[in-house]
Structure 1
Amino acid sequence: MATSTRRRSAAKSTKGKRKKQYTPEQRAAFAEKRKAEVESLQEQLTAAVVEFASSEGWAALLKKMAQRSRIMRRYSFRNSALIFAQCPHATAVYGYDAWKKRGRQVRKDEHGIRILAPNTITLRDENGEPKKDEHGKEKSITVFRPISVFDISQTEQADGAPEPETADGAEFPEIGAKVQGTAPAEFMDRLTACLKSLGYSVEHGDTGQADGYADPETRTVRIGEGFPEAHAANVLAHETGHVQLDHTADMAEYRQHRGRMETEAESVAYIVCAVAGLDSSVSSLSYIAGWAGKTPEKVQETMIEVGQRVTEAVSAILAFTDPDEDQGEEPGTTETADAEPEAVPVAA
C-alpha cells in the first residue's frame, strides 16, 4: 500500500444545530481565535515535554512531588509544577481564606504563588436563560484563571489554633499514571461521532497490554476496560488522532515511523482534552517524551516537526468536540467568569 499523508477534514454534524446563524465575519473571528488557542497549547505542550525530557530537572521535580504528596493530592499535575517552580520548599498550600479557616494567617507582604484555577461557566442565551444540549442538560464551559495560594511557610499560627497535621505517608499520583476523574459532558460521544465520520466505530473490551488501539481492517477503535472515565477519554482522543492523521492507512509506514506518529497522536489528544477542560498532563507528557526522542534537543526537534500536522488534526477533531455553534454567547453578550472567590490582600 502506498504511503499516505493526506488529511481529512471532519464534516460537521447538523443534528441539534442552533437556529442562530453566524455572519462570515463572526465565523472568521472564531476560526482565528481557535487557531491561536491551538497554537498556544501546542507551544505550551512542546515546552513541557522538553522540560520533561531533561532528566536532571525532571528527576528533581519528581522527588519534590514524592516528598510533598499533600500538594499532589490537592492540585493538578500542572499546578503542582507551578507551585514547586515558584516555591521549591512548598509542603502545604492553600488560598488566603482557606488558611484563615485552618487557624493560620498569611504574613504581611508575602507574595502569592500563582496557579490556574478552573472555573465552570454556564452558557446563556440572549434572554439570560441557560442553554441546553439535545439531552436537556445545561451547557457549560471551563475556563482557567490565575489565583494566588500560599505555602505554610508564608503563614503564622493564629493565637490558640492547633498546628496543621502533616501529610507523611500519603500517596501521590505516579507520573505516567492513568488520568483520574470523570470526562467532560458529551466529550466521548463527540469523539465517537468524529470517528464515525471517518468510517470507524468504537467499542470497549480487552486490549492486551495497550490502553487502546485502532484496527484498520475492521475499522474499529477499541478502548480498554476498567480505566477511570477521564483516562478512557484521553485514550479515545489519542486513537481519534491516529485515525484523523491517517496513521492507520498504511501499517507498514506506521511501524517505520512509529515514534513520530505516537508523538503526533498523543499531542492531538493532549490539546483536544485541554480545550474540553480535561488535564491529561500526568499521562501525556511522559508518553510523548518517551516517543519523541532520547534527549531534550531531539524532543524539541520532533515536536517542531509534527507541529503543523498536529494543529491541522486538532482543528478537524474540535469541529466535533467543540464546534463553533456551541461557543459561548453571541457576540457582545459573552458571559464573564465570576470574580475571584478569595480576595488576596497581600502582594501577588
Structure 2
Amino acid sequence: MSNQNKYKTKSFEEKKQEVDQLIESAEKKIEEHFISEESIKECLRYMSNFYNYSLNNAMLIDNQFKGALAVGSYDFWKKQGYSVKKGEKGIKILVPIKSKPKFRRGKEELVEVEKATDKEKELIKNGELKVIQGTYFKLGNVFDISQTTAKASDLPDIFPNKWIEGDVAGYEFLYKGMGKVAEKIGVTIKEPTYELGVVKGASLPYTKEVIYNPRNGELQNIKTLFHELAHAKLHTKDTRENYTREEKEFQAEMVAYTMGQYFGLDTSDYSINYLHGWTNGKELKDKQNLLKEVRETTISYINIIEESVLKEVSKELEKYEGINFSSAKEAISIYNSIKENEKEVLSSSNDKTSFFDEKNSENDRFSNIYKNIIQKSNKKENELEM
C-alpha cells in the first residue's frame, strides 16, 4: 500500500475549530488563574535558604548564567541532598578571605597576632597595640539549581525559573516537523555555543536563528521551540517594534500552549502561570488582532508539523498493512504501540502464537500487524538455527 493511502489529515475547518476551542479554553484559564498568598510565602521561604550575594557577585553570576536565582556552592547542594550534574561548569564568584590579624612591631615589621609575646598580647588586649586585618579575594564556584539533580517538583509552584519535566512520545517526529516549520519561515534551529543560563530558548531575529538550552528535557524543548518559532514568525526584525514585550510573550506562549494541547502535550501549569505573569494587570491593545495572528500561526504550524509527522510515521511503518490514521497524535500512538509490541514479541521466549492470540483479542485492528511481527520473529529464529 502506498504511503499516500495510509493517512488522511483533518480538514482546515476541523483544525480551525479545534484551535479556536483551545485558545478560548486558555483565555478562560488565564482569567481564572490565581496565585495564593501561601504560594507566595512558600516561594519566599524557599528563596530565604540561599545566600544573599553582594551586588558585584550578583552581577558576576548573572553575566555568566543569565537569570540564575537559586545558586549555591557544591557543598551547599550536597547538604540539600542534590549533586551537581556531570559536565556542569561552575559560576565564578569572588570569595572574600580575611587575612590573619597582625600588629606592627616597631616601625616596619608586621607580625601575626598569634606570634605575639605575652607582653605584646597584653598591649593588644588593652588597645595599646593596633591590630590590622585585611581582606583579599579568591575565585570560588557556585552552581544554579538547574545544574543539579534537583527535580522541578522540588521547587515552589511559582518559582520563576521552574522548568517542565517529561518525555514526549514521538519526540523525534515532532522535532523533525519543527525543522520543517523553521525551513518554511527561513530560520535555523540550533544549539548555542554559549551559556544560556536558565533561559530555555531564544529567537534571534537578526541572525534568523532559534536556539534552545541543551539542559531542556524533551517536553520542555518541544514547548520552548513552539514558543520561539512563534516569535520567529510574528516578531521579526521588521515587525518586533510594533508589539510591547507583554504582547510578544502573550502571542508566543499562546501559540506554544495551543500547539502542545493539539499534539497531546499538557504544559498547562507552566504556560498558564507564564501567561498570567505577563498579562495580569497589563493592557493588551487590540487583543482580538493578537489572537487572530496566534490562530493563523498555530494552524499554519500544525499543518506543517502534522504533514511531516504523518509522512515520517507512514514511512517507518510502510512494511505493515492495514494501518490508517488521521492525525499526528494518533499516528505517534500507533507507531509507539507497534514498536513496543514488536520488541515484546522479538524478545519473548514464550510461544509466539499464544502472544498473537492474546493481542489479537485485545484489538482486532492490529491483527495483521502482529502476524507480520511474529512471522518476522520466526524467520529470524530459523536463520539463526541454520
TM-score by length of 2: 0.45
Q: Which has the larger share of helix? A: 2
Which of structures 1 and 2 has the larger relative contact order (alpha carbons within 8 angstroms, sep 6+)? 1
TM-score by length of 1: 0.50
